[in-house]
Amino acid sequence: MHLHRDHCIGIVVDAQERLFPYIHEHDRFAAATARLIRGLKILDVPVLAVQLYTKGLGETIAPLAALLEDCPRFEKISFSCCAEPSILRALKLSGRRCVILAGFESHACVLQTALDLLVERFLPVVVEDCVSSQREADKRVAVERMRQEGARITTCESILFELLGEAGTERFKQISRLVKEAGR
């Protein structure tokens, strides 16, 4: 199934300050997720910013918070984003059925969100290089479980080019620059 940008919405799940130093390959995660957010904005794909228990886990990490400034923000106490009525309502009201997921922790909040999205008849698309956990094994197993349950697994570069769909446009030039930055 080919994804189209008009059918997609992104969620950055719990990429928060107090967890960040403990996340496996956290710098790689931050760079890829920043690239994803910038790319989704170029493509006019809306993005939601979600935080779990901000009082205890802090704000979204600075590099991502700056990119998410103009995006709708949500607070939750449940691991799954779908358990927070305001988030689920925002997803349903968007009219977009494909939910692009980034964030942490892969084996808790991202996994439970993906599973609940499937129950709610959304298609979760997990951006593998934009999700992480404290332990690499937890991430690996969570990504495999999401795949087995019906989520689509992709990478930042792959989803951006899939949503772009064609070359020779100004958007193509902008996305190409983002991808080239990753190779440096």
Catalytic residues: 14, 76, 109
Contact present, 48 and 9 (Cβ < 8 Å): yes
The type of residue at 18 is R
The string of DSSP letters for the chain reads ----GGGEEEEEE--BTTTGGGSTTHHHHHHHHHHHHHHHHHTT--EEEEEE-HHHH-SBPHHHHHHTTTS-EEEESSSSGGGSHHHHHHHHHHT--EEEEEEE-IIIIIHHHHHHHHHTT-EEEEEEEEEE-SSHHHHHHHHHHHHHHT-EEE-HHHHHHHHH--SSSHHHHHHHHHHHHHT-
The type of residue at 171 is R
Separation CA 134–CA 104 (nearest Å):
9
